[in-house]
Amino acid sequence: MAAGLAAGNHEALAELYDRYAGLAYGIAMRVLGDPGRAEDAVQDAFMNIWNRATTFDRERGSLRAWLLTSVRNRCIDYLRGRGAHERQERELQPELAYAVSPSDPWREVALSLERAAVRDAMASLPAEQRQVVEMAYFGGYTHTEIADMTQVPLGTVKGRMRLALEKLGSYLRGRGTVDV
């Protein structure tokens, strides 16, 4: 499918859309909570994949992961108030965008510390709890899908998720790194 996208094959794009549009929209809805903005974010992500298909590197991850990362990034853009128009201008003139808004080194340090704290918090979870969090938040699966895939009762999945989120919140609050 990636080769078809890189070759400009519309059928490959249609196949990608048929396979992942529902999952992408579900993630966008969870992040944005607005159907219109979620649709826009998903459309922008598919357009990004289409326009940049020749840059896809299978060694860096799967096409699915690239698409879902693109959806996530588009959602973040929308949450920060940067719609498609502003982002397109920034993508067309990356040098200008950098010159106008260079990164804040303190913000980068804070984000790095937050990422490390979240990684440590995730590592502190029991394997069963970590698995459901990863599947839900990084895989985009629903509790029902996780229950089906892991062959665990739905109530158990929900319980593991609740316990995991409580432990993550407690861990992160205890470190004072992340305001939960």
- Report pLDDT digits (tens) over 149-179: 899 999 999 999 999 999 988 888 887 765 5
Question: Given this structure, which CATH class describes domain 2-100?
Answer: mainly alpha
Q: Say if residues 67 and 45 touch (Cβ distance below 8 Å).
A: yes
Compute the CA torsion angle 28, 93, 1, 20 (nearest 10 deg).
Answer: 0
**Mean pLDDT, range 103-110, rounded to an integer:** 66
- Residue 61: left (phi > 0), alpha (psi -120 to 50), or beta? left
- The string of pLDDT tens digits covering residues 55-92 is 888 888 888 888 988 998 898 888 887 554 444 444 44
The residue-averaged pLDDT of 99-118 equals 66
pLDDT at 107 over 70: no
| CA–CA separation, 144 and 163 (whole Å) | 17
pLDDT confidence of residue 163: 96
How far apart CA 44 and CA 91 sit, in angstroms, is 13
Percent share of the chain, pLDDT over 70? 82
Highest mean pLDDT among 1-5, 96-100, 123-127: 123-127
Helix boundaries (H) for the chain: 2-6, 10-32, 35-51, 63-79, 84-92, 94-100, 105-124, 127-133, 143-150, 154-175
Q: Identify the CATH assignment for 105-175 out of 3.40.50.620, 3.30.1330.10, 1.10.10.10, 3.30.70.360.
A: 1.10.10.10
Domain boundaries, given as residue ranges, for the chain: 2-100, 105-175
pLDDT band at 113 (very low <50, low <70, confident <90, very high): confident
Of 27-36, 42-51, 146-155, give the lowest mean pLDDT range: 27-36
Closest CA to 82 of 44, 46, 51: 44
Position 27 confidence tier, pLDDT thresholds 50, 70, 90 = confident
Distance of CA 66 to the CA centre of its chain: 9
